[in-house]
Each structure stands twice: as C-alpha cells, then as structure tokens.
Amino acid sequence: MSDKNSNYQNIFDKIYLWLKDAKNDEVKSIMQWVNKADEFINAAEQVSINEYQLSIESFKQDLLGFYQHNKTDAENSMYLNAISEGMWQHLAHMTDQTQVEWTELVDDFNHDGTYKTGDLIGFGRIQCQGCARQVDVTHASTVIQCPNCGSNEYSRQAFSD
C-alpha cells in the first residue's frame, strides 16, 4: 500500500473512531432528553390548557429569537466560514474532479460558458472576464461580483490540471 493510501486509511480510521465516540455521547444525550421530556410531561399534567398554550407560544418566540440571533453570528463568523470552506476543499481534492466536471457540462451549455453575478455554480474554476482572476469553486455557490475589479461575468475553466 502506498504512503498516500496509508495516510488516507489512517485519516478514515480516525474519523470512524471519532464518529463512534460521538455516537456513544449522542445516545447518552438523547436519553437525558427523553428523561427530561418525561419530567415535563408529568409537570404538564398539572397545567391548565390556557397556561400550556401560552407557554408554547412563548417558547416558540424564544426559539425564533435564538435562531435569528445565532444565524447572523454564524453567517458572519470567519472561523465557521473558514472551517466550512476548508472541509469543502478537502472533499473536492478527494473526488475525481474530471467526473464532477462532466456533470457540470450541461450547466455550462445552458450558460454558454459564461456565469454572471447571482448565477448558481456547482464545481470548478471560474475566471473573471474583466481581470482574469481565477476562483476555485468547491461546492454549490452563488457567483459574486469580482472583488478584484468589480466585473459581473466569469467564464468556466478546466479545474483539473
């Protein structure tokens, strides 16, 4: 087995062990939630229907506020975005990029090879038609205005070298 294959196997072994440990922790966590839910059900039997409905509505509002507050934080987090992009890049490098590019070929025909700001692009390398800046797209993304020159048009280039 080559060193490269051995390294990949080592990585997959570590991921397997990590997921196995996470699974055990998740089972414990789920059991804690089930026990807590049982406590809530027992307590709910002593609450009137009006109090129950009021508490459910309040809970929904709290969840909505929590979601909206943290969604903004997560979308603007440089750390979370860097982790996400890094994971997509590693997955892209592990794939057979020529096969993925073939699946994008139909989309290229629909766009005549030109992508504009706001278009959805799946995978590949695009080049700004204004300044020739190249951008590697490792997962489905919306094309944005070129940060280098402000152009709104890109052409797809071959991703495999």
Task: State the pLDDT at residue 14.
Answer: 77
Bridge partners for 151 per DSSP: none
Task: State the pLDDT at residue 4.
Answer: 64
Q: How far apart are CA 109 and CA 19, in angstroms?
A: 41
Task: State the pLDDT at residue 22.
Answer: 67
Q: Which residues in the chain land under pLDDT 70? A: 1-4, 18-19, 22-25, 27, 30, 44, 91-111, 158-161
Q: Which of 92, 153, 98 is nearest to 127 (CA)?
A: 153
SS3 1: coil
Task: State the pLDDT at residue 133.
Answer: 92
Task: State the pLDDT at residue 151.
Answer: 92
Task: State the pLDDT at residue 140.
Answer: 74
Task: State the pLDDT at residue 97.
Answer: 54
Token reading at 148 = 């280098």
